Amino acid sequence: MQVVLVQEASSLDPEDNRARLERLVPEGADLVVLPEAFARDFGEPGSDLTPHAEPLDGPFVAEVERVAARRHTTVVAGMFEQTEGAPYNTVVVRGATSLDYRKIHLYDSFGYRESRVLAAGPIEPAVFPLGDTTVGLMTCYDLRFPELARRLVEGGAEVVVVPAAWVAGPRKVEHWTTLLRARAIENTVYVVGVGQPGPRYSGHSTVIGPLGDVLVEGGGDDEVLTADLDPAVVAQARRTNPSLANRRL
């Protein structure tokens, strides 16, 4: 499975972000992943996101679906989903399959309070089939909760995809890359982390193999990365390190 990581910053202009989708999504990859909140950036910390939320049948998802069909691929991208109350921080999947994942763990950490402006999603692990591979979804701060990754793997995930807007700051790149590797090693899965770039966010979009090898890693600026993922490598890793089978619960 070929995956393309689009490390690109979203702006405060939803129309501009939608217009860039066709340029950013390449032809023919199996999976193209854009960051969290690509439909519209968070704006000033704590600002009201309700006016910028869209329904799932709104213009952003329609454009994701159109571009995915035109490019013969499956696209993952983040948005704020309109509800009757506070919006969800949602990742949509459109293309060979259709799925919506609402971020479970809101970023109430490092001085931020995401829960003041967004609603937490239901505790329902999101997995979907893509060719011969099963893919699981997490969003940004979810990465710090190993139990969610484990539930995705229990649901069959061989690849865990993590769209993010990982806020920059001291130790933040180290936390991001360490946690991506940890989730891959402890679950013997590929982990695909796709972040927004600097200066506001940490960038360093990365693909980790199921034994912890760094397959590709970006820097802090806008960048597009590509990696090939093989489910047979996951199977071999689980024979080499059968930690999932060895669990005693």
Catalytic residues: 36, 103, 140
CB contact at 8 A, 94 and 74: yes
What tokens appear for 103 in the block? 């971020």
